[in-house]
Structure 1
């Protein structure tokens, strides 16, 4: 500890002597429907359905909408 200041930086690394009185009350934020995964899942509603629909459309377009090539037409 520096003799010129009463603040001890090592005290920040030590475990607190008393437990946090709010820890029990705050646990609801990270359990059940509020877990990190559940919060992330709800961040992009409809993304899964949109991805499947887009992939289906791309497959349909690749298989059924092939463009016929007409060489020489339109070049006069």
Structure 2
């Protein structure tokens, strides 16, 4: 009986561990957007970089509104990279 309980406990951990890591991996897109806008306010960018950041921000907001936080955060991270942050 103890072996069965141990096997069930290990199986539960094996399934729940990766699932919780997936949900914990991304930050809420609203928080990431706030950080992006704060960085954008202090960044000195060329017109081409401003357009690229604006385009990525728009795509990120679109994904954020669709409750796709992971892809929204990816767009925001790309915009941060353009700004050198």
TM-score by length of 2: 0.32
Which gives a bigger RCO, structure 1 or 2 (Cα 8 Å, sep 6+)? Answer: 2
Structure with more of its chain in helix, by fraction: 2
Pair member with larger Rg: 1
TM-score by length of 1: 0.35
